[in-house]
Structure 1
Amino acid sequence: FKHNKSGFQILNSYIKPGTIIIFETTGVYSAQLTTYLKNKKVKFYELNPLEAKLRMASLRRNKTDKNDSFKLALLGKTQLAEIKNHCNKQSNSLYESLRILSLRYKQLIKCRTRILNFLRSSLELTFPELNQIFKKAYAVLAL
């Protein structure tokens, strides 16, 4: 399902009383799902990607979103007690806010790097001797 209003409505049609949702933390993408599940008061467990990989190592042959979803459901059936002990079910709001801000910061840094690389490559096409003039290619003066 897509991470928009209609996508979450589709997800909601699958949620029955007593449903437990298990998913991998995927940065800013899982933050929307986490917020939605908290608002709907649905029980969920968010697995750290490394922990999910280790837990699914024996199950994971070919990695696709569909296979991973199925394997996470199998983990819920076979290892739910262990998952409950290791996952952050409902973290406090201060920690959650800091975590989301940290994810957003990382996303902005990636975006900034991508833009600087694009700008730098465009400048090198126009001024090929730029690398000889400036020692620091990404210095403010060079850009």
Structure 2
Amino acid sequence: MRCVFGIDVSKATISLAIVVDQSLIEEFKLPMNRTGFRKLKSLLDFFHNPEVVFEATGVYSRRLQRFLIMQRVNYVQLNPLKARIQLNKFRRLKTDQADAKELANTQFIIKRSFSYQMDPVYSQLRDLSRFYQEINKDIVAHKNRLHRALQLTFPEIEQLFSHSNGKAYWFIVQNFLVPKKRPLYQFKLLLSTFMIVTYIFHFNALL
């Protein structure tokens, strides 16, 4: 006896069709929360070695995928384009329940391989790496935007510093918001004073 769970994933719910030996047994609509996953677990435990087929829907299907990995259930996660091409050959209606049913039925016709189940630790590391890259990208964009603004409002700052790394650079920017009203020698005098004070502070800290 071969049992297949066809699942159509949406934002807050999943549509489930249970097909055994190409015969529809039951259809459910479950919420994507603890109650829904608890019900899904009880259904999976009721059948022997069930297979699960669902379409990848971004962050929504990630919760279902993690649940299946934790339950050690074999599943097939379909690419959305590939799923649409496969289902268009069989389905008559386009509804969540119909998609779930056809996902299960086509599993008996199309020989799909089970998806590789990555350890949740590696999935989390991949997500953190992507998040880190996005943060770096945002930082670079903000720095470039700030640099363009300073070029328009405070071009004299580049005569004092060769780069924007360091406290002295930002001290000058913050304390001289209108540079055109202050001569350049005042900036150099202030910078010298700031550097002397900083040197004395670090020297006393070493004693």
* Structure 2 unaligned spans of 5+: 1-29, 132-207
Aligned partner of 2:54 in structure 1 is 23
2:75–2:115 contact (8 Å) kept in structure 1: no
78, 100, 108: which one aligns with 1:47: 78
Q: 1:8 is matched by which residue type in structure 2?
A: F
Residues 61 and 32 (structure 1), Cα distance of their counterparts in 2 relative to 1, 3 Å cut:
same
82, 92, 96: which one aligns with 2:123: 96
The alpha carbon displacement at 1:13 in A equals 2.0
Q: Distance in 2 between matches of 1:22 and 1:101?
A: 28
SS of residue in 2 equivalent to 1:59: coil
SS of residue in 2 equivalent to 1:96: helix
* Structure 1 unaligned spans of 5+: 104-143
Per-residue CA distance 1:72-107 (angstroms, 9 max, x = gap): 00111111x2x10xx63324657734369869xxxx
Aligned partner of 1:13 in structure 2 is 42
Q: 2:61 is matched by which residue type in structure 1?
A: S
Per-residue CA distance 1:108-137 (angstroms, 9 max, x = gap): xxxxxxxxxxxxxxxxxxxxxxxxxxxxxx
Residues 10 and 78 (structure 1), Cα distance of their counterparts in 2 relative to 1, 3 Å cut:
same
TM-score by structure 2 length? 0.43
2:66–2:120 contact (8 Å) kept in structure 1: no
Q: Distance in 2 between matches of 1:47 and 1:18?
A: 20
Residues 78 and 30 (structure 1), Cα distance of their counterparts in 2 relative to 1, 3 Å cut:
same
73, 79, 97: which one aligns with 1:66: 97
68, 83, 90: which one aligns with 1:37: 68
Q: 2:68 is matched by which residue type in structure 1?
A: L
Q: Distance in 1 between matches of 2:51 and 2:82?
A: 18
Q: 2:77 is matched by which residue type in structure 1?
A: E
Greater strand proportion: 2
Task: Report % sequence identity.
Answer: 30
Q: Distance in 1 between matches of 2:123 and 2:49?
A: 24
Q: Distance in 2 between matches of 1:41 and 1:89?
A: 12
TM-score by structure 1 length? 0.60
Q: Distance in 1 between matches of 2:49 and 2:56?
A: 22
